[in-house]
Structures are given as structure tokens and as C-alpha cells.
Structure 1
Amino acid sequence: MFITVPCPECKEETEHEVLSESRDRLVRCTACGHHHHIPKEKEQKPLMIKAIISREGTSVAGTIEFDPEDKCSVGDHLVAEAGDEAYGVEVAAIETGGKRPQQAKAKDISALWTRIIDRVVVKISIHDGRKTIPLYLECEGEEEFVVGQKYVVDGKRFTLSHIKLRDGPLMRKPDWKTFARRIKRIYGVRS
């Protein structure tokens, strides 16, 4: 194996052959043949950051692995572990001491608040002219819903009229679409 490091004899950065590795490395300069020791680079241990993993009203504590210099932002999609289970999650909030920033370095984070996005429950409200019927549909987080399309849930047919997103806006225009993981509630008209 060859590495490029400064040579104390040549006084330049040159290619060196690694002769042995133990607590440090014994290397030989390929330019002048000088042998010398260089310290091994310390590998950074990964950080295990506490994560609160939420799914529709229930939460479990788990962890997410980071390198110390990694950055994390609200909205990032990560993998969280709780016991033997692994979940695809979205970061909802970051806790650093007493603050809740939108972004932070992993070494500064004390906890992450997340929600599961690989399987989600979509809340649906169908209006039939007299009353509103509430429904719940468990589906993949990547399933798309399109304004103006017809759907059947629990035997009830409806046309999707608009979608309320988790981050605020309403989607009302025909053919606008989004993923189930972004939806707060779907509204429809019974057909």
C-alpha cells in the first residue's frame, strides 16, 4: 500500500510505501529510501444520538448513528433503530441543549424528534352532502395521491378534492400530487 506524506529527509510530500502497521506505521520514502514512523490516523467513533420515533400518537425511544462532523436538518430522511427494528424516519425537530434549531452538527445534538415515513396512516374526510365520513388508510410513505382522481377506501368511493400538507399549504388544483408521508389530511367528495 502506498500513501502520500511529508518525508523528513526530502523535506517534501512524497509517495511512501507502508512496510508495517501496528501502533504506528513504518514507511519508506520512494524518492530517497528513508525509513521513518508516522502515527496512525485515529478513526472517529460514530455518535449514537437519541431519537424519539413517533407513529400516529405512539412513540418509542431509539438511536440514529452519525459521524461527529455530520450535519442534520429538520426534514432530513434517516434510518432510526429501536431494539431490533429499523425505521425510515423524517426529522421533525432537533434538540441542542435548550434550543430547537433547524440545523445542527451531530456532536451538538442531544435528541432528535422524528416520525416514521416508510408506513404512514393517511387521514381522509369524505363529504357526501349531509355528513362527513372519517377514514384512515395505512399505506407506504412513497404512495402518491392526486387531486381530482377517484379512490376507494373501505368500500367508499370518492373523488379527491384537496390535500392538506403537513407543512401548511392546501393543494386544490387538478392533477397536483404529493406523497402520503407529506399529507396531514385528504378531503374528498363521495361519488
Structure 2
Amino acid sequence: MSNTASQVALVCPSCSPDEETVHEVLKPGGQATVRCTACGHTHKTRIEEETEADLDVIVSQDDESFSASAEVPEHEELAVGEEFVLDTEEAILLVRITSIELDEDRRVESAYGEEIRTLWTRAVDNVSVNLTVHPNENREESRSVKLGVPGDHEFTVGEREEMAGEEFVVTGIHVKRDATGYDRDKFDFDGDSVPAKDVKRLYGEDDSPTAWSAW
């Protein structure tokens, strides 16, 4: 959620005196030695250390939730939909911000670290996807199952999947409300693709060899 300690944004007296460029920190300290990555100029400057805010983080994972904490620069702006790596006692997780809570239980779409009381998040590195499988003949009933998959696994309409003992062709995908970058919430055209971490519900047609039998 912040720059690496070895790189900072600073003005360069050689190539960019008015706008900041990325500098590599060669020697930290009160008067740090830095090198501009744009032109290679090395110079000394004072790097202001940014105060960090300690935030409460609520992590939702499958049907459970737990509390954690995270340190972020006070003047860094966070927004709903952003993802970051969270180091918890249970595991290191990739999480997505689903809600930002300020004092007096106010909820906002974005805020600076110093303003935030609680970050509400959802784990997205490994997720559970609800799947509804329709029979390829009307001699069976539809069934619902839950799939455990990596968050970056792509489901594509028209493609066949085999997982959790199910064999099916993807026919439709509903996306979650906290997913960003989509122009609609349902995808059902061949070739439409959505990563598992954004899937609210997956629809498929049974494609197993025993999906239908005349006997």
C-alpha cells in the first residue's frame, strides 16, 4: 500500500527541478543520498518520513470474518475496490476493500489513512464460487455446488470446466457488487470472461458423460 523503502519520489536538480521523478535511495539518513532513475544524477536531500496510521481491518473469507490490522501512510488515499496484501496472524492474504468506515459509523467510497477507522475487506486470493448446474436434458433437476478456486482463475462463457467433481460448460456469469471495471453485472455471450474473485454466481450446463440416460 506504499512505495518500497528503496525508492522515493523527489525532484531532480539535474533533469526535473519542477516535477518529481523516481529516485533510488543509496544511503538513508537525515541527509539521504539518492540517485535519479531518469538521468542517473546522484545528490543529497532530506526525505521526510511519513507518519503511518494503524487501521482496524475486517476480513471476510467465505462465510466467516475475522479482525486484523494494517499500517498505511496517513496521507495515502484508499478507495473501495482497491486490493492490497494483508499480513495477518492466520496467513498473508490478498484482500479487496469493500467498505471504508470513518468516525461516527460513516461509510465512504474513499478516504485518507488518517481519516479511516475501519477497513472492511474480502479475501480474493482464494475464493468460493457458487455454481448452478443445469441439466442438458430435462430428466434431471438443477443443482447448486460451491467451488473453491484461486481468485485469478478465469471463467469464460462457452468453455468447459472440470472441478470439484463437476463437468460443465459455462453459460452465464453474475459479477459481485464490489467488482469494478465492468459495464454490466451479467455476462452470457461466448467469450465473456470474468476472474473467480469477481464472480457472484456461475451458471453452467451439465457436460458429464452420465448427465442423461434413457435408462
1:27-66: per-residue Cα shift (whole Å, max 9, x none)?
xxxxxxxxxxxxx776233222110011011111011221
Q: TM-score w.r.t. structure 1 length?
A: 0.75
Please tell me the residue identity of whatever aligns with 1:66. Answer: V
Q: Determine the C-alpha separation between the residues in 2 that align with 1:123 and 1:178.
A: 14
Q: What is residue 136 of structure 1 aligned with on the other side?
A: 146
Structure 1: which 5+ runs fail to align?
Answer: 5-21, 26-39
Q: What is residue 145 of structure 1 aligned with on the other side?
A: 155
Q: Determine the C-alpha separation between the residues in 2 that align with 1:48 and 1:182.
A: 28
Give the number of aligned pairs.
156
1:138-165: per-residue Cα shift (whole Å, max 9, x none)?
1111110000111123333211100010
Among candidates 155, 163, 173, match of residue 173 of structure 2: 163
Percent identical among aligned pairs is 23
Cα contact 1:60–1:82 (8 A) shared by 2: no
Is it true that 1:123 corresponds to 2:150 in the alignment?
no
1:6-44: per-residue Cα shift (whole Å, max 9, x none)?
xxxxxxxxxxxxxxxx9x87xxxxxxxxxxxxxx77623
1:72-123: per-residue Cα shift (whole Å, max 9, x none)?
0000001223226221000000001121110111100000100000111111
Q: Determine the C-alpha separation between the residues in 2 that align with 1:41 and 1:141.
A: 38
Is it true that 1:107 corresponds to 2:114 in the alignment?
yes
Is it true that 1:185 corresponds to 2:195 in the alignment?
no
1:115-135: per-residue Cα shift (whole Å, max 9, x none)?
000111111110113311112
Structure 2: which 5+ runs fail to align?
Answer: 1-10, 12-28, 32-45, 178-183, 208-215
Q: TM-score w.r.t. structure 2 length?
A: 0.67
Structure with greater proportional strand content:
1
Moved over 4 A (4+): none
State the structure with more CA Rg: 1
Q: What is residue 63 of structure 1 aligned with on the other side?
A: 69
Root-mean-square deviation over aligned CA pairs: 2.1
How far is 1:179 from its partner?
0.5
Q: Determine the C-alpha separation between the residues in 2 that align with 1:41 and 1:149.
A: 52
Cα contact 1:64–1:79 (8 A) shared by 2: no
Q: Determine the C-alpha separation between the residues in 2 that align with 1:175 and 1:41.
A: 49
Q: Determine the C-alpha separation between the residues in 1 that align with 2:156 and 2:163.
A: 15
Q: What is residue 48 of structure 1 aligned with on the other side?
A: 54
Q: What is residue 176 of structure 1 aligned with on the other side?
A: 192
Distance 1:155 1:76, change over 3 A: same
Q: What is residue 83 of structure 1 aligned with on the other side?
A: 89
Q: Determine the C-alpha separation between the residues in 1 that align with 2:198 and 2:85.
A: 17
